[in-house]
Structure 1
Amino acid sequence: MKTITYILLLLSVSASAQNKPAVAGSNLKPAVPAADTLIKDSASYSTTVKADTAIKSKRSLHEVVISAGSFEASDRAKGASLTPIDAVTVAGSNGDISQALRSLPGAQQIGETEGLFVRGGTGEETRQFIDGTLVKTPNYPSVPGVPQYARINPFLFKGILFSSGGYSALYGEAMSSALILESVDLPEKTSASFFLFPSNMGTGFQHLSKNNRSSYGANLNYSNQSLYNSIVPQKPEYFSGPVYFNGNVNFRVRTGKTGMLKFYSNWGYSDVGMRNPDIDSAALKAGYQAKGWNSYNNLSFRSYLADDWKIDLAAAFSYNKEETNRDLTDGKGNMLKIPFIPYSYKTGQRVMRTDFSQMRAVVTHLFPQGQALRFGAEHFYTDDRGRSNDSNLVLTDHLTAVFAEGDFYLADNLAAKTGLRVEYSSALSRMVLAPRISLAYRLHDGSQFNLAYGVFYQQPGNDFLYQPNKLTFSNATHYILNYTRKANNRFLRAEVYYKQYRDLVKTVPGLSNNGKGYAQGIELFWRDKKSVKNLDYWITYTYLDTKRNFLDYPYELRPSFAAPHTTTVAVKKFFQEINTSVNVSWAMAAGRPYYHISNNSITDQGNTNAYNMLNLHVAYLCSFFKNRKWKDFSGVAMGINNITGTRQVFGYNYSYNGLFKSPVTLPATRNFFVGIFMSFGIDRTDDFLNNNL
């Protein structure tokens, strides 16, 4: 568990202040009301249009929204999609946005590693962006078999766009999915928060200036799971931590009449060390320790240059250092070095440092009738330096991209978004062109059809680029068709898609781009906030047919991270009479394939048991202090993940000769939390009710 797990409800309440940007002065450019926004720009949630006559002339459209492949989760979206609070208050999400979005169609239920696996793609094929800038390392350093959580606090964002395919040309380097986040502007009021749990503690504040034109804030969180792990036995034998420390600071300033300058800095440290029985020898234990130091810094600015021109600028710099150590110990805990295979592979050290920076500029020209043209450019700089045992690892890359995209109305009920993205990588010495197009057709009953096509490129992982090679970009072509209907606080979405993978990386018989694959499927999403008073629920179903030939696969296989059938149910009920919120989630997925591959052939294979996870979170809301000067919103929260104790199996680890295998399971059968939280400065009872019902 991670610190953010325990403060889930506290943050969800505090976030509602940040989701309502303050407006200072009556001379600011008015934002178009959500019901009158003709085309929502998936690249910028804050796009505003000063064209009242155009709005009136197109009011009969009732908002045509281009949404193929995308779930918008902003404070403008009501009922049809998930707000940040919705996403991370899903029972079992542990406050991690990637885990929360697994309750949406298209995402796989992956329990052995971090990341978001979407429509047959790996976790590396989904990228996260904050205010237009790429978050290079969104999670703490990976450890085998135990997912590591996100460093970024999802409640710092007023908008979340989860695109499972067909996303905007303003973004790239993600073959499968893009998670696009827009940070909050100004908080509603000055406030503070504090929490203390047996294994976690933290505090934070947000200060709003008296003139409502600037704010600053900071948060600190510390988590040490040693005490919890001593009470709830874990499968790995932890000899260090898990320990997580995370902090962030931010400031926001309104500039002029329409400008907004925002700065966000996040830094963190983690230490996880564990041992498991060595699969090749019952007398030995294999140790693994991962330490990580990370900092992410983002500076963004947006403003109107004139009535019809808008500019968005952003710059980001991140530093990441990871140190991993592998060792073998005997029954007495003595470290060993065994010089012959396979034991020689199981000891060693790797230290990597990555400096990453990005500069980005987007200019938007607004036309009458809600049409717009956006164009811009961005540059990514990556410098990797490190050492793995006796080998030096060095990589420097400059990736430059230019892009253009337009929103057009072809008829009163037909809208189009077309774009083109061009990228050049110095490490690959290659340039690629990525066209994108989306169409939206609105029916008379308010429902809508959406069609999308696009080509999406991504560089091979850095581990493949450290050595001399002739690799090129991998790519995926997306074809998407969906139908949506929203009415009376109910939402239905059905989507079919096809993806064609080309130039995937192969490691056998040699390093090349000879891999390929496909993914196709059907997805359903139903959400209902109307039928039962004070009850909100959604149901999803995903059918996935995918195969790929990549890495060491001898031919096209269904990858080990892809289940053909997945269903999720999320239910949220607030009992107002007793101030208690109950969240329940259930996820089921068919068994995933597993393989043992040796010498370009499969020596063992099969399917795991079905995934079945039932989670329950309960929160009692109250006020610990009655003094008006110290108005607070507080409560007690508790939860259990995997209530039924189902033994989840995610795959198998094999011995070197392939004769023995051990299952990859959860560190503990069940996961528990209980504790209190407090928020000072604003009574959030009404906001909590409104955001959860």
Structure 2
Amino acid sequence: MAALKYYALVVCIGLANYCLAQATIKGIVTDNRKHPLADASVYVKGTANVATTDSAGQFVFTVKEKGVQLIIASYIGFKETEKRIDINDTLVEINFVLQPEERALDPVVVSAGSFEASDKAKGASLTPMDAMTVAGNGGDIANSLRSLPGTQQIGDKEGLFVRGGTSEEAKQFVDGTLLKSPNYGSVPGIMQPARLNPFLFKGILFNTGGYSALYGQALSSALILETIDLPDKSSATLHIFPMSVGAGFQELGRNKKSSYGINANYGSYALYNEVVKQQPDFFHSPEYIETDANFRIKTSKTGILKFYTNYGYNRTGLRNANVDSSDLLSAFETRGRNLYANLSYRELLSNGWKIDAGLAYNYNKQDITNKLEDGDHHQLFIPGFPYSNQNNTLRTLSNFAQARMVFTKTLPHNQALRVGAEHFYGRDEYSSNDSLTTLKDNLTAVFAETDVYIASNIAAKIGVRAENSGLLNKMNWAPRISFAYRFTDGGQVNVAYGIFYQKPELPYLVQNRTLTYAQASHYIINYQKKANNRLLRVEAYYKKYKDLVTTQPVTANDGSGYAKGIELFFRDKRTFKDFDYWVTYTYLDTKRKFLNYPYALQPNFATPHTASLAVKRFFQDINLSANLSYTLATGRPYYNIQNDVAGKPVVLNEGTTNLYNQMNLSFAYLFNLFKKWKHKDFSGIGFGINNVFGTKQVFGYNYSYSGLNKMPITQPAPRSYYIGLFMSFGIDRRDDFINEKL
């Protein structure tokens, strides 16, 4: 959808190096006792030139770059060392002496994630480029994370479905504050794009469970996003695609202590839908308007103030065959407006204290209209069930605000204490036809957490969080604890336990204001090891749900469930030259009684087995970026649940969809369009195809009231395509395209 503009940015920004002469760099890496370090990494920052030392600590590689370059050497358990050299000769010798870290249990930082006894120990910390260059992600950060273990391949709805949890149970946070509406308004059977530019963030931390006490109101997982501080230099961007056009700029102050920027984008699928026929009849093709602005000010040597705001408009209208009658049509239309603003402040205080503060505001209005129509698209009003309730309007109007403050005290031996509080204010209006309900809530949370190093190779994070909701009139206490043990070979074991709470969603609170929090208890153990540019991670978990919302026969907290499984993640950037690939496998066993389920069932969004492969290659000689992703998953269950004569839900029909099987490809040819310009451009042509083989993906079925008819929920078209031009002026993003510390 509209977020393809960001994917275009990823695959199209210029990356060119036309120097033909090569130089050889060689040397030795040792520790402070002059012992050689085998398998240490040595690389030229901003390039794909990398070497690994042999058993004698020696390395050698060739480079095309000339002039002053930054050479970096790194090794597990030692401080990273940098040296600047001037490459003018054909042979350059440089030696490194690495100093040991002050403590053995230092975070193991890799491109796919950093793992320690914290959020990062149980998640995958990605650079924006890592996430966004996964083929087929559509420019959506959350969608790109579906290539990691623990997530389900859901093609008919936006968001993350993690370890047996719904997309509403996976929350996103920007600089600590909750991102209330991360995606455009939902459309039945079609994923909607993300609202925020992925290059707003310098880091992406995806927690599939057991995250820290600093975050709450997320039952299954937390996607933690941290925005950049200041850009490297001023820049401007322009993209032209059949589905989207946009432009923007970032201006860095002369003193390099402030910056500001503006972006504007317009997206419409009217032309695309004329060329690539869609299964729904779009009477208004998906349309998006988006603008955003930001400024950043360094308030001192250690302090920074950052502001970001985003406005978005969306409209989509479509018709499908009516499941209850072959002669009738069901029309759906949605229009929405969203305003988001985030203000954050960070500063070092005296005596080892640091403050992180944030304010966030979100206004969201969504109007939805459903109509029953005849073959000539005239609205019909037919008395009697099930037709009498197929003409309706729904409006949701939400005002959300959050204030947050965290104080961190640095303690001896790299230990730390964090204490903080936050307040959420929400005012929601829910209008269905002529019925209007207004709900207000003030939720206050306090939390404390400490990092403790029990021994040189044993760490712990212990925390607790307390929340009180005025609307629910109830307080909860949520302990969180995790341990990490590092082996001498660099491998690490993490164990975590935590309790997590979440308020019911708005439609359920409208039906019953006496609902309480849903609860999940997480038990997690994993092992991970990084060595020789490879990463292996294996994790097992168990989740227990209680007080889930059920809607039949009445809305109440009568639900429960469990989820357990094993996950595998392996990333390899060494075996095959210039290739970066990862493979994942997820086994999930889950059942839950919630919504209208009469008893515990496998949720219709969950499947037992999922495997994925992501492959990336940059062909430096021809400036071509190529990316492939492939996912294979067993079928999802589907149910026809109806109420019996006593008003109780029963399962009348059930089954399993066909195998999910999808391959995506994307390419970008990168070049300089205006070589003689003072501000050098980095341009590209991006093109790609999703679901290359045209596999018919079935995500479930819609049943008629009688239960005799069912309609498959499928993709709008067997394949989707994109092609377009992107230009970036004034900034070289080579460090983004070539994974750091390859």
Q: 1:549 aligns with which of 593, 607, 631?
A: 593
Contact kept? 1:572, 1:692, Cα under 8 Å: no
Displacement after TM superposition at 1:421 (Å): 0.2
Question: 2:396 is matched with which residue?
Answer: 352
Q: Which residue in the other structure is 1:646 paired with?
A: 695
User: What is the match of residue 624 of structure 2?
Assistant: 580
Shift of 1:684: 3.3
Choose which of 513, 518, 521 in structure 1 pairs with 2:565: 521
The number of residues matched between the two structures is 656
Distance 1:394-1:131 versus aligned 2 partners, 3 A rule: same
CA distance in 2, matches of 1:628, 1:160: 34
Q: Which amino acid aligns with 1:176?
A: S
Q: Structure 2 vs 1, CA of residues 579 and 686 (structure 1 numbering), >3 Å: closer, same or farther?
A: farther
Tell me, what secondary structure is at the counterpart of 1:124?
Answer: helix
Partner of 1:659: 708
Distance change in 2, residues 1:680/1:10 (3 Å): farther
Q: Show CA shifts across 1:545-582 (max 9, x none).
A: 00001111111110000000000100001111211111
Counterpart for residue 279 of structure 1? 323
Structure 1 residue 628, shift from structure 2 partner = 3.8
| Aligned AA (1:439) | F
Pair 1:92-2:136 in alignment: yes
- For residue 343 of structure 1, report the CA deviation from its aligned partner: 1.1
Q: Which moved more, 1:622-631 or 1:456-465?
A: 622-631
Mapped contact 1:68–1:482 kept (Cα < 8 A): no
1:678 and 1:311, CA in 2 relative to 1: closer, same or farther beyond 3 A? Answer: same
After TM superposition, give the deviation of residue 466 of structure 1 in Å: 1.6
1:127/1:179 contact within 8 Å kept: yes
In the alignment, the residues of structure 1 paired with residue 12 and residue 176 of structure 2 have an alpha-carbon distance, to the nearest angstrom, of 24
Residues 1:247 and 1:593: Cα distance change in structure 2 (over 3 Å)? same
Q: In structure 2, what residue type is equivalent to 1:395?
A: L
Partner residue, 1:619: 668
Question: Which residue is equivalent to 2:213?
Answer: 169
For 1:270-669, list aligned pairs within 5 A. 270-599=314-643, 600-669=649-718
Which amino acid in the other structure matches residue 608 of structure 1? T
Instruction: Quote the offset at 1:612 in angstroms.
Output: 0.4
SS at match of 1:169: coil
Mapped to 2, the partners of 1:656 and 1:218 lie a distance apart of 50
CA 1:95–1:34: 2 relative to 1, 3 Å: farther
Bigger radius of gyration: 2
1:110 is matched with which residue? Answer: 154
Q: What corresponds to 1:46 in structure 2?
A: none
Which SS does the other structure have where 1:335 is aligned?
coil
Which moved further from structure 2: 431-440 or 502-511?
502-511
Helix, strand or coil: the match of 1:466? Answer: helix
CA distance in 2, matches of 1:406, 1:69: 13
**Cα distance between partner residues in 2 of 1:516 and 1:10:** 42
Distance 2:170 2:736 in 1: 32
Q: Name 1:2's counterpart in structure 2.
A: 2
Paired residues of 2:689 and 2:721 also in contact (CA < 8 A): yes
Aligned CA-pair RMSD: 2.1
- Aligned to 1:578, the other structure's residue is in SS state coil
Judge conservation of contact 1:481–1:495 (CA < 8 Å) in 2.
yes
Q: Provide the C-alpha distance between the structure 2 equivalents of 1:457 and 1:686, rounded to a whole number of angstroms.
A: 39
CA distance in 1, matches of 2:669, 2:176: 37
Decide whether aligned partners of structure 1 residues 37 and 660 sit closer, same or farther in structure 2, where only a CA change above 3 A counts.
farther
Match of 2:285 in 1: 241
Gapped regions of structure 2 (runs ≥ 5): 16-44, 47-73, 80-98, 109-114, 644-648
Deviations 1:667-693 (A, max 9, x none): 000000011111001233465335596
Deviates most, 59-68 or 261-270: 59-68
Tell me, what secondary structure is at the counterpart of 2:256?
coil
Whole-angstrom distance in 1 between the partners of 2:451 and 2:76: 18
Aligned counterparts of 1:508 and 1:70: Cα–Cα separation in 2: 39
Q: CA deviation at 1:12?
A: 8.0
Q: Deviations over 1:295-333 (max 9, x none)?
A: 110000010111400000100111000000111211112
Q: Is the 8 Å Cα contact of residues 10 and 133 (structure 2) preserved in structure 1?
A: no
CA contact (8 A) 1:11 1:155 kept: no
- Seen in structure 2, the aligned counterparts of structure 1 residues 384 and 37 have a Cα distance that, compared at 3 Å, is farther
Aligned AA (1:8): A
> Aligned equivalents of 1:509 and 1:178: distance in 2?
32
Contact residue 72 and residue 161 of structure 1 kept, 8 A: no
Cα distance in structure 2, aligned partners of 1:357 and 1:428: 18
Q: SS of the residue aligned with 1:541?
A: strand
Structure 2: how far apart are the matches of 1:194 and 1:453? 47
Q: 1:680 maps to what in 2?
A: 729
Aligned counterparts, 1:113-262, within 5 A: 113-262=157-306
2:116 maps to 66
Equivalent-residue separation in structure 2 for 1:6 and 1:134 (angstroms): 22
TM-score, normalization: structure 1?
0.92
How much does 1:71 deviate? 7.0
Cα distance in 2 for partners of 1:686, 1:319 equals: 36
- The residue type paired with residue 534 of structure 1 is D
Q: Is the 8 A contact 1:68 1:450 kept in 2?
A: no
d(CA) in 1 for partners of 2:179, 2:214: 15
- Deviation for aligned residue 1:7: 4.5
CA separation of 1:497 and 1:468: change in aligned 2, threshold 3 A: closer
* Distance change in 2, residues 1:5/1:659 (3 Å): farther
2:738 aligned counterpart, secondary structure: helix
1:499 & 1:12 partners in 2: Cα distance?
Answer: 41
Distance 1:125 1:587 in 2: 23
TM-score of the pair, normalised by structure 2: 0.86
After TM superposition, give the deviation of residue 58 of structure 1 in Å. 2.9
Tell me the residue number matched to 2:42: none
Structure-2 residue corresponding to 1:50: none
Q: CA deviation at 1:512?
A: 1.3
Kept in 2: contact 1:70–1:165 (CA 8 A): no
CA distance in 2, matches of 1:58, 1:470: 53
Contact kept? 1:68, 1:480, Cα under 8 Å: no
**What SS is found at the alignment partner of 1:168?**
coil
How big is the shift at 1:81?
A: 5.0
- Structure 1 counterpart of 2:411, which letter? F
The alpha-carbon deviation at position 155 of structure 1 amounts to 1.2
Q: Tell me which residue corresponds to 1:263.
A: 307
CA–CA distance in 2 between the matches of 1:650 and 1:157? 32
Give the share of equivalent positions with the same residue, in percent.
Answer: 55
Letter in 1 for 2:712: P
Structure 1: tracts of 5 or more residues without a match? 21-32, 39-54, 74-79
Question: What secondary structure, in the 3-state scheme, does the structure 1 residue paired with 2:511 have?
Answer: coil
What's the secondary structure of 1:573's corresponding residue? Answer: strand
| 1:61 Cα deviation after fit | 3.6
| Alpha-carbon distance in 2 for matches of 1:493, 1:468 | 43
* Contact 1:10–1:679 (Cα < 8 Å) also in 2: no
**Closer, same or farther in 2 for the Cα pair 1:279/1:63, shift >3 Å?**
closer
| Contact in 1 for aligned 2:362/2:400 (Cα 8 Å) | yes
Alpha-carbon distance in 1 for matches of 2:627, 2:514: 51
2:720 to 668, 671, 692: 671
Deviations 1:361-385 (A, max 9, x none): 0000100111000000000000012
